[in-house]
Amino acid sequence: MTTADIKDVIIDILEGIAPDEDLSNLDDQTPFREQLELDSMDFLDIVMELRKRYRIQIPEDDYVELASMDSTVKYLEPMMRDLEKV
Partner 1 sequence: MIAGSTSDAQRIVITGVGLTAPNANSLADFRAALLAGKSGVRSYEIRYVGATLAGVCDFEETRYQTRKEVRRGTRAGSIGVYSANEAIRDAGLEWDTMDRSRVGVYLGVTEHGNVETENEIYELTQFDYDVKYWSHHHNPRTVANNPAGEVSLNLGITGPHYTIGAACAAGNAGLIQGAQMLLLGDCDVALAGGVSESVRTFGIFASFKSQGALAEHVDPHKASRPFDTGRNGIVVSEGGCIYVLERLERAKARGAKIYGEIVGYAMNSDASDFVMPNAQRQTECMNLALRRAGMSASDVDIVSTHATSTPSGDVQESLAVRNVFQACNGKAPCVNNTKSFIGHTMGAAGALELAGNLPAFDDGVCHATINVDELDPECQVPNLVTNEPRETRGVEVILNNSFGMLGTNSALIVKKY
Q: Name the minimum Å distance from CB 5 to partner 1.
A: 23
> Contact with partner 1 (CB under 8 A): which of 27, 28, 34, 57?
57
Q: Name the minimum Å distance from CB 49 to partner 1.
A: 11
Q: Which helix (H) or strand (E) holds 51?
A: helix 40-54
Q: Give the integer Cα–Cα distance in Å for 6 and 34.
A: 21
CB 3, CB 66: distance < 8 Å? no
Closer residue to partner 1, CB minimum distance, 19 or 78: 19
Q: What is the DSSP letter of 29?
A: S
Give yes or no for residue 52 binding partner 1 (CB under 8 A): yes
Please, which of residues 12-41 interact with partner 1 by CB under 8 A? 16-20, 37, 41
CB 56, CB 79: distance < 8 Å? yes
Binding site for partner 1 (CB under 8 A): 16-20, 37, 41, 44-45, 48, 51-52, 57
